[in-house]
Amino acid sequence: MQKVSENQNSLLQDYQQAQANLVALDHSAQTDLATLIEKEKQLKSLADSSDKKIAEAKKVLAKLTASQRQQIADAEKRAAARASRQASRSPISGSGKGAKALAFAKAQLGEPYARSSAGPGSWDCSGLTMKAWGSVGVSLPHSSRQQYNLGRSVAKSDLQLGDLVFFYSDIHHVGLYADNGQVIHAPRPGKSVEYIKMSYMPYAGARRPG
């Protein structure tokens, strides 16, 4: 009888432990589901915002004459070429994580922009910075706004190679600092990963992830 009682107690304890594990697992699943739903909402909001900005840009572009559009395209090509020439005269040096992250981004120069893409072969702005820093073991979210909340703030005068540089008041664009007042970034649909002067876009701040 004592042995049976001991077995029953053991079974009861196992059952209670299994119940507790089940409750914990259910709570974890509910938490993960809520987190996933919230992330999906954020991604949809970012996508909607991006679509709106692209639509607005297309409206402005549609009002320009063919000659004006060509002048803008030519100016952008000249600016990118100047930035690339300047960058080639200042090769990436250093063994820090930032320099290595920048070297990863440099290897993607010329690859096309694609929204929500994080390589290989095509990139959006935060996808490029995410994978660049991921290549040195630093995890970043695929969102420029979320990246802006990570790492530590860096003054514009203290920028180092690979620092994340953010643009526009609503923080919807990011690139990696490449020295001489330039960044490497994935610009927009129809463009490719390139060097560009920071002064060509409204500066919003900078962060150093790792």
Give the model's confidence band at 160: pLDDT under 50 very low, under 70 low, under 90 confident, else very high.
Answer: very high
pLDDT digits (tens, 9 = 90+) for 40-91: 676 677 667 666 776 776 677 677 888 887 877 777 777 766 666 665 555 6
- Domain interval for residue 136: 57-208
Burial (CB count <10 Å: 0-12, 13-18, 19+), residue 83 = buried
- Determine if the pTM surpasses 0.75: no
Q: What pLDDT was estimated at residue 41?
A: 72
Is 167 domain-assigned? Answer: yes
Q: What pLDDT was estimated at residue 99?
A: 95
Which one of the listed residues 27, 142, 172, 173 is annotated catalytic? 173
pLDDT digits (tens, 9 = 90+) for 112-153: 999 999 999 999 999 999 999 999 999 999 999 999 999 999
Is 201 domain-assigned? Answer: yes
Is 62 domain-assigned? Answer: yes
Is 168 domain-assigned? Answer: yes
Share of residues in the chain with pLDDT > 90 (%)? 53
125 is catalytic: yes
The amino acid that residue 187 corresponds to is P
Is 176 domain-assigned? Answer: yes
What is the C-alpha separation between 205 and 186, in angstroms, rounded?
18
Name the helix (H) or strand (E) containing 195.
strand 194-197
27 is catalytic: no
More confident residue, 12 or 168: 168
pLDDT digits (tens, 9 = 90+) for 168-203: 999 999 999 999 999 999 999 989 999 999 999 999
Q: What is the CATH number of the domain that holds 141?
A: 3.90.1720.10
Is 21 domain-assigned? Answer: no
Is 127 domain-assigned? Answer: yes
Do 53 and 172 contact (CB within 8 A), yes or no? yes
29: left (phi over 0), alpha (psi -120 to 50) or beta: alpha
Is 16 domain-assigned? Answer: no
Which one of the listed residues 27, 125, 142, 172 is annotated catalytic? 125
Give the model's confidence band at 111: pLDDT under 50 very low, under 70 low, under 90 confident, else very high.
Answer: very high
How many domains does one find in the chain? 1
- Give whole-number Cα distances, 12 to 26, 155, 170, 175, in Å: 21, 62, 57, 59
